[in-house]
Structure 1
């Protein structure tokens, strides 16, 4: 968390306090209700303040696009120095995503018959080295996986399945030379032939290669459908069978290798026409033969990320339809945040925040297309998500239909609050995956409530130890979690354990709206950070006349730290808001 915090402060601190709390949840709620009230079976009486609370389990994803370096990379890897620079670019992006509560990265791995790893089937894409079919000098996919896992995030390999790009470009030429019957040409573009049974096996081999070689968390299929420019001559039911056969082949390959690896895809955002709402001729089921709801029902998919780049009546009823037909699986609609760009459709921030609130009410996750529009804080969206919508971390829903027996909890815990160390041991994995992950919780009360996401300190740790804040007011608990997402009971810190601290806690004076800092100290920074007792950054505020405005911060206990030019936070003290 410290690494994330430092990077965030470095890139965003100068404006965060201006943007935070710009949009109140109550106003967004009323707008959302007004937008769809009377237009669907939406029950506005259920849409209350609970919808703004962070659930403990929720998919919060982003598509990270590598084609043309749209999201990453923004420089080429052509020397040791430039490799380091390219890697650092990705680390900065992941730090920002982590701080905003993102827990799933959909990382574009197969682009247009080209890839970002060393493959036996397809050439390197040129986005990394600047030259098609040339290695960047390091394993980009392996690096991305390692960095996501360091931050407690899952990463799925995003596979663009059917489009192959320009007919004479590297991806098409490579496949044409090896398997000419797998390609069809439409104008200047090449596409894999969905109606050729060998296409399913070829794509399954690529996904199997990734699953075998890498510690990936999921395979994410994109464009797994008929192209809109394809003249579909077969019956639509036959067309749907062709696409489903490809999905079956890939799922069978992946699950056969590592059954804990998730299968997901991004179907067209509107599944089909609804009884009261027309899809305007653009839907998954009929238009492009994409029977995504069947894939959920038949356990071919664990998650769906419908591309719901719409608003109003083209969004809300169709989002509810996905929720009502999820077959117990996870749905995380993709939001077209790029439409907020004035160069696109200039959507307002409220358009997206309203959609987010409704998705949460219907127990749906969310995904942002695409990463750069999100981390660039387009119209304040990043700050809204980081400071309000995703105030606390979330675990990813477990895929219990694949395995449901939780691990045995850790049997021993050791806590050194003076030196900020915690370790544990003795958990037992009851799955067939190679290792366990661990979640740490902390609270000022004992036993620690592990159902409260506000108590999550660190998630998806692979090691059996971690650093913790030097704070003897907190109690700790640790759970084990298998690769399927099943979480054990917690081992709790004993309530009456006695620890010594290096110095007594300094409680700061407050009035109704401000923290009153000592007049005897001259602070070198104009900003301070406000964190939870567990160490999660929540707000950045300015210092004015040795006072810090805390208006609007909920009741509770918090930590106040300085922010200096080296991006390091020194403890000022603790404060309590009682009403």
Structure 2
């Protein structure tokens, strides 16, 4: 049996009045400068142990090493079974076990999001009301019901772990081969054979056909309305990557729909622009809190092609893929952009450091968040000395964290991230992910602050201290409970934490009372615990509750 360390009543869970703060001797200026529990207090200023404090004052200092909020994601690819499922036709229990293992991997590395590919090629991994078939990467047979709802399962399991789940969709790829006859008879591409074209040995929906764009958008909206996804994510495939000696077969489409455009390249870019803009607006109309992000090719344009471009000399998304990613940022058609900067520092055609700085300038003055796509799959590449350096990825974050506009990273792919070649991921975690991080806030979507959770008790058990609390949703979209804990003399009432230095865990909020067992305390030592609630758009409660105890 444990010993109850603290209990609270409504009277004790109120904000400190000016009188009580002064009588407690809270030295605000010193506390803000030195951090929680470090400022000396007058002799008469003892913090009351076992009392629950409600706190509204906040620290203002930040931390490059342990930022309070940061996007940390895994790209989990399902196309040709790259990451999940490991092969088609696995039993349901095995598929689900593999998925849980991926989520546990993310959690063990202190990541907070998974970008799960649920529409790899005009197919689906969820129970849809529209005509696209079940993905063959689940069962081995396109259109065959896998016996459960993979997306619903993934969302539930991710949220249990306090992870965000973004539905990763490839918008225009129809199949990994070029034949319409390889698709099930009920496939929309077979029912509408003029909607797609073969190119480079694969088949793609034609972005120049308005009905195609409308259809794909309807698939996205249907998903958003019926599933509790945290985001919708598009990858880098818009018009297909160029294939030497081949031309995109859309001249007839251009003739039919060119409108005012006298150049087919400009017309193609407009098709993608309209698609991105209308998809963004449709998602917000369906469920405003769901974020929309794109992970484009890492170079928009080279400076040799455009004065607005980067000091690079690689393939250009603007000209080769007809993806005007810079405009999507400037016009606010995405909530975040995650360019795939899959090159090493110092690589002259596409220097990682140069591109981080270029993308940071593009999001400046906008609400668009910048996350950097990282090439975990290149670690250990025997052909490249830089990728044989186990510190390359670590140093990527060392660079990007000095750039204020960079708010996080995503890693491709999950299999490589798990393999941890050269212990590069272990080194990365030790240097940069030693603590969890809260989700990046999107107050421009829904800015309402959630209610403050209230600590109810802290109980000493054999294994540690069990912290309990209650939280009221009152109809709000409350998502997480964030818990900080640090050792202290208890000389001052702390501020709300502005870093993750002492952040211990981020828990999924439930309707019932909740608790967490902290097994890392030292018996007889004194600690502050502090908790806040976080909304589904990453906005935190205006206040926190805290308790000072002896473990």
Question: Scaled by the length of structure 2, what TM-score is found?
Answer: 0.75
CA distance in 2, matches of 1:122, 1:107: 18
Distance 1:290 1:51 in 2: 35
1:271 aligns with 2:312: no
1:367 equivalent in alignment to 2:416: no
Secondary structure of the residue aligned to 1:200 is helix
Match in the other structure for 1:573? none
1:440 and 1:293 map into 2 onto residues whose CA distance is 38
Alpha-carbon spacing, 1:86–1:343, altered in 2? closer, same or farther (3 Å): farther
Q: Does the CA-based 8 Å contact 2:169-2:235 persist in structure 1? A: yes
Cα distance in structure 2, aligned partners of 1:180 and 1:223? 24
1:29-48, aligned counterparts within 5 Å?
none
Match of 2:124 in 1: 115
* Whole-angstrom distance in 1 between the partners of 2:150 and 2:280: 24
In structure 2, the residue matched to 1:284 is 317
Confirm or deny: 8 A CA contact 2:292 2:334 kept in the other structure: yes
1:84 counterpart residue number: 93
Equivalent positions of 1:323-472 (< 5 A) are 323-326=360-363, 327-342=366-381, 345=384, 347-348=387-388, 349-363=390-404, 364=406, 365-411=408-454, 413-418=456-461, 420-427=465-472, 434-445=477-488, 447-448=493-494, 449-463=496-510, 464-469=513-518, 471=521
Q: CA deviation at 1:187?
A: 4.8
Instruction: Name the CA shift for 1:129/1:343 in 2 (closer, same or farther; >3 Å).
Output: farther
Indicate whether 1:167 and 2:216 are aligned: no
State how far apart, in whole Å, the 1-side matches of 2:353 and 2:460 are: 48
Task: Work out which of the residue numbers 481, 484, 494 in structure 1 matches 2:537.
Answer: 484
For residue 129 of structure 1, report the CA deviation from its aligned partner.
Answer: 1.8
Preserved CA contact (<8 Å) 1:167 1:173: no
Which secondary structure state, in structure 2, belongs to the residue aligned with residue 474 of structure 1?
strand
Task: Give, in angstroms, the shift of residue 266 of structure 1.
Answer: 1.0
| Alpha-carbon distance between aligned partners in 2 of 1:87 and 1:73, rounded to the nearest angstrom | 9
For each residue in 1:39-70, what CA deviation from the matched residue of structure 2 results, as whole angstroms up to 9, or x when unmatched?
Answer: xxxxxxxxxxx986121111111110112221
Cα separation, 2, equivalents of 1:278 and 1:287: 17
Structure 2 equivalent of residue 140 of structure 1: 150
Question: Structure 1 51/340 Cα, relative in aligned 2: closer, same or farther at 3 Å?
Answer: farther
Give the conservation status (yes or no) of the 8 Å contact 1:114–1:170. Answer: no
The answer as to 2:110 corresponding to 1:101 is yes
Name the SS for the 2:484 alignment partner: strand
Partner of 2:53: none
Higher RCO structure (Cα 8 Å, ≥6 apart): 2
Question: Quick one: distance in 1 between partners of 2:269 and 2:185?
Answer: 25
What is the number of residues matched between the two proteins? 444
Q: Tell me, yes or no, if structure 1 residue 195 matches structure 2 residue 208.
A: yes
RMSD over aligned CA atoms reads 2.6
CA apart distance, 1:450: 2.1
CA 1:58–1:379: 2 relative to 1, 3 Å: same
Deviation at 1:344, TM superposition (A): 6.8
Q: Where do residues 252-263 of structure 1 align in structure 2 (5 Å cutoff)?
A: 252-263=281-292
Alpha-carbon contact 1:51-1:360 (below 8 Å) kept = no
Q: 2:221 aligns with which of 191, 208, 211?
A: 208
* Residue from 278, 281, 284 that aligns with 1:249: 278
For residue 75 of structure 2, the aligned residue among 63, 77, 93 is 63
In structure 1, how many angstroms separate the alpha carbons of the residues matched to 2:185 and 2:300? 30
In the alignment, which residue of structure 1 is the partner of 2:199?
A: 186
Equivalent residue for 1:18? none
Query: What's the offset of the Cα at 1:328?
Result: 3.4
* Counterpart mapping for 1:533-552 below 5 A: none
2:266 — aligned with what?
237
Q: Name which of structure 1's ranges 261-270 and 115-124 shifts more when overlaid on structure 2.
A: 115-124
Distance in 2 of aligned mates of 1:188 and 1:284:
21
Q: Residue in 2 aligned with 1:45? A: none
Q: How far apart in 2 are the matches of 1:426 and 1:147?
A: 21
**CA shift digits 1:459-482 (9 cap, x unpaired):** 142224122225463321211111
Partner Cα distance (1:462, 1:402) in 2: 20
1:114-147: CA deviations, max 9, x gaps?
1112222211112222322212211111111111
Aligned-partner Cα distance in 2 for 1:188–1:173:
22
- Give the Cα–Cα distance (whole angstroms) in 1 for the partners of residues 431 and 151 of structure 2: 32
Deviates more, 1:433-442 or 1:136-145: 433-442
Are the equivalent residues in 2 in contact too, given 1:272–1:283 (CA < 8 A)? Answer: yes
2:142–2:184 CA contact under 8 A, matched in 1: no
Q: In 1, Cα distance between the equivalents of 2:125 and 2:382?
A: 29
1:322 and 2:359 are equivalent in the alignment:
yes
Structure 1 unaligned blocks of 5 or more: 1-49, 502-579
- Secondary structure of the residue aligned to 1:493 is strand
1:228 equivalent in alignment to 2:241: yes
Contact 1:103 1:396 in 2 (8 A): yes
2: CA distance, partners of 1:422 / 1:77: 43
Query: Shift of the alpha carbon at 1:299?
Result: 2.5
In the aligned structure 1, how far is the partner of 2:173 from the partner of 2:547?
57
Distance 1:309 1:51, change over 3 A: farther
Partner Cα separation in structure 1 for residue 112 and residue 185 of structure 2: 34
